[in-house]
């Protein structure tokens, strides 16, 4: 379990993280969502004591990170996959942290097998492709077989096969009862991977909810209507209590009704229609709406 309490971080005049409080529970994948610059990486760095909070604190299974003995056995993290050192081999990249955390060397071979890198164990880590470097970063996170795992944008730059592999790995790790916390700026990706969501914008908490509840609340559908008689159509719909909005391209959007009902109403009132179709608002749109104000503000020069 990860407990974030009243966590803030200021860099000069920039507030990267603004009084965040939330809990990440074991046994499920929790997605950490926010647009670029929302404060996700800063929050994750503070979880691992790599950055000092301006206010608040984080507890990993009830303790501050700096108080954990053998930290790699308590929490594993993938922050920047490219942060691999010099000319070391893939194997040695894992052997050193294993040794300093009293992890048996057999575990190095085990995690390399697990992430599919056993065949390149003696190649230089620096020469790995992005997908392989990402796998090595994940192997490092899994080295101590920790109950808590943090992944910062793990699918960035990966091909579809790599994305699917990481998605399944996270679900498997959560199914084993671990706490899995994974950041992304893509709602669509999290909808497929996570069960719970923490959404932030400009460092502030915007939502702490299940993915199912988020989808239920946000994937509103409407009926799109194109007609040369928009005013009459609006009046007819208003007459049966249907809320109508005008889309940017002049079409009408009717909420709380169905395409069949709109068609029947048009026929009954002798209205000409050119199109009646159902439109599903995507989760990505819901996410943009939720975080939009934050993103706009930043574009206005807060960075």
Ligand X SMILES: Nc1ncnc2c1ncn2[C@@H]1O[C@H](COP(=O)(O)OP(=O)(O)OP(=O)(O)O)[C@@H](O)[C@H]1O
For ligand X, the binding residues (CB under 6 A) are 11, 14, 16, 34, 36-42, 185, 303
User: How far apart are CB 256 and ligand X at their closest, in Å?
Assistant: 35
Residues 42-81: b if buried by 16+ CB within 10 A, e if exposed: bbbbbbbbebebbebebbbeeeebeebeebbbbbbbbbeb
User: How far apart are CB 107 and ligand X at their closest, in Å?
Assistant: 30
Residue whose CB is less far from ligand X, 36 or 168:
36
Q: How many residues comprise the chain?
A: 303
Question: Is the CB of residue 289 less than 8 Å from the CB of residue 264?
Answer: no
Residue whose CB is less far from ligand X, 32 or 214:
32
User: How far apart are CB 225 and ligand X at their closest, in Å?
Assistant: 39
Residue whose CB is less far from ligand X, 202 or 234:
202
Residue whose CB is less far from ligand X, 13 or 69:
13
Residue whose CB is less far from ligand X, 103 or 197:
197
User: How far apart are CB 74 and ligand X at their closest, in Å?
Assistant: 23
User: How far apart are CB 202 and ligand X at their closest, in Å?
Assistant: 8
Question: Is the CB of residue 252 less than 8 Å from the CB of residue 276?
Answer: no
């Amino acid at each position: 379990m990860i407990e974030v309490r009243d966590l803030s971080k200021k860099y000069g005049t920039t507030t990267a993280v603004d009084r965040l409080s939330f809990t990440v529970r074991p046994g499920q994948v929790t997605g950490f969502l926010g647009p670029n610059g929302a404060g996700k990486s800063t929050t994750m760095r503070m979880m691992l004591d790599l950055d000092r909070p301006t206010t608040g604190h984080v507890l990993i299974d009830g303790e501050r990170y700096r108080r954990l003995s053998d930290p790699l056995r308590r929490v594993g993290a993938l922050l920047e996959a490219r942060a691999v050192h010099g000319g070391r081999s893939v194997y040695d990249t894992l052997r050193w942290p294993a040794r300093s955390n009293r992890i048996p060397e057999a575990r190095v071979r085990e995690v390399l097998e697990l992430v599919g890198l056993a065949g390149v164990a003696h190649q230089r880590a620096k020469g790995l492709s992005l997908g392989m470097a990402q796998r090595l970063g994940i192997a490092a996170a899994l080295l101590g077989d920790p109950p808590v795992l943090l992944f910062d944008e793990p699918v960035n730059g990966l091909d579809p096969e790599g994305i699917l592999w990481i998605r399944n790995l996270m679900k498997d790790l959560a199914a084993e009862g671990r706490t899995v916390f994974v950041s992304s700026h893509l709602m669509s990706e999290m909808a497929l991977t996570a069960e719970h969501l923490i959404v932030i914008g400009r460092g502030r908490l915007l939502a702490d909810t299940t993915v199912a509840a988020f989808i239920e609340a946000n994937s509103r559908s409407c009926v799109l209507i194109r007609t040369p008689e928009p005013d009459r159509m609006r009046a007819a719909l208003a007459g049966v209590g249907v809320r109508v909005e005008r889309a940017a391209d002049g079409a009408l959007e009717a909420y709380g009704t169905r395409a069949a009902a709109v068609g029947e109403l048009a026929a009954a009132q002798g209205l000409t229609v050119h199109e009646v179709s159902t439109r599903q608002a995507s989760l990505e749109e819901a996410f943009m709406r939720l975080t939009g104000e934050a993103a706009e503000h930043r574009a206005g020069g807060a960075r």
